[in-house]
Amino acid sequence: MTDRLRVSMTMRPASLADHLFDVTLRHRVRAVADLHHVVLDELDSAAARDALATTDVLVAGWGAPRLTDEVLQAAPRLRAVLAATGSAGHMLGRAARGRGLLLTNARRANSRPVAEFATAAILLAGKRALPAARLYDRRRDLIDREAELTTAGNNGARVGIVGASSTGRLTIDLLRPFDLKVVVHDPYLSDAEARSLGVEVAGLDELMRTCPVVSVQAPELPETRGMIGAAQLAAMPDGATLINTARGSLVDSDALVAELRTGRIDAVLDVTDPEPLPPNHPLWDLPNVLLTPHVAGSIGNELLRLGERVVVELERLAAGLPPLDPEPLPATPEA
């Protein structure tokens, strides 16, 4: 290529770029492209439009403004959007398809920390760590584990994974060294794929009824919203733990609160519906719930993994190579 690519970054807050791209990664960007000196946290000002006018590649992080038709008109040279996020199709306006833009995401890079979090939560749930901690705090004395934690242990225990997504599959892989029986519910998982993953396939109701630990890792789709409702939660064994690192909308929030109030099951919730919860929501005060603020995904030094993925995609684009993680443009993008 005779002309160097011109790259702009957009995300909110703009300071996020410092966490995604350290000195080494920025050096790699500048080795193959000219990088605009300002990270854009909006795309409507005159200064932002001036930057877009000469931008070939837009690197988008969390909170990036939508690429409306007006924004795309201001970026006549734009040929690729490289997202340091799990998906980016929601950013695009209707004009994107006509432009034939290349869209990539860092979904696979972001799957790793989510799967690690889910794996840790699964193992702790199997050891009955939450109820044990509550009991210990209440007694503040020696606990007869054999008498009071009779269902604890990860030796041959059944673990249910709801959704053979990229994160779900990576979690299955991370669980391989442990003596667990992994059961998966995913209507799109073939028998051959299940055999290759070394898992048992089950319907959702059977999985919920037979697995003391259930990890929700399905994507948010119209057909998955509310897929775990009152009937599924009531079917869980006494002392079971529900883990959700996917999206809060996959679990009926009212039904979950009602079941948790019985004290019969525990929950580890990294996502909720709504998110964040209002200050007076009952989930804050239930003793059998561990709430974390959506930290399963990339945070801290894990953000560099996302930046690395974007830089690799940029290097491949500059070299005329196909992308590693292309994302199809949405069939009916919003206006």
Nearest residue to 163 via CA among 104, 244, 222: 244
Catalytic residue, from 19, 169, 247, 309: name it: 247
Residue 294 appears among annotated catalytic residues: yes
Asked whether the domain spanning 111-291 has the same topology as the one spanning 5-108+300-318, the reply is yes
Rounded-to-10 torsion of CA 327, 330, 334, 335: 90
Alpha-carbon 76 to chain mean position: 32
With cut-offs at 50, 70 and 90, classify the pLDDT of residue 328: confident
Query: What are 125-175's pLDDT values in tens digits?
Result: 999 999 999 999 999 999 999 999 999 999 999 999 999 999 999 999 999
Other residues' Cβ atoms within 10 Å of the Cβ of residue 92: 24
Nearest to 134 by CA among 122, 143, 146: 143
Q: With DSSP H G I counted as helix, E B as strand and the rest as coil, what are the percentages for the chain, rounded to 5?
A: 40, 15, 45
Catalytic residue among 12, 49, 209, 294: 294
Between 99 and 199, the more confident residue is 199
Tens-place pLDDT, residues 68-98: 889 999 999 999 999 999 888 888 877 777 7
Evaluate whether 305 touches 298 at the Cβ level (below 8 Å).
yes
What is the model's pLDDT at position 332?
Answer: 54
Q: What is the pTM of this model?
A: 0.92
Which CATH number applies to 5-108+300-318?
3.40.50.720
Per-residue pLDDT tens over the stretch 249-285: 999 999 999 999 999 999 999 999 999 999 999 999 9
Active site residue: 42, 148, 220, 275, which one?
Answer: 275
Distance of CA 84 to the CA centre of its chain: 12
Q: What is the DSSP letter of 25?
A: H
Q: 111-291 has which fold? A: Rossmann fold (3.40.50)
- Rounded-to-integer distance, Cα 102 and Cα 286, Å: 46
pLDDT score for 1? 44
Where along the chain do its domains lie?
5-108+300-318, 111-291
Q: Could you confirm whether 26 is annotated as catalytic? A: no
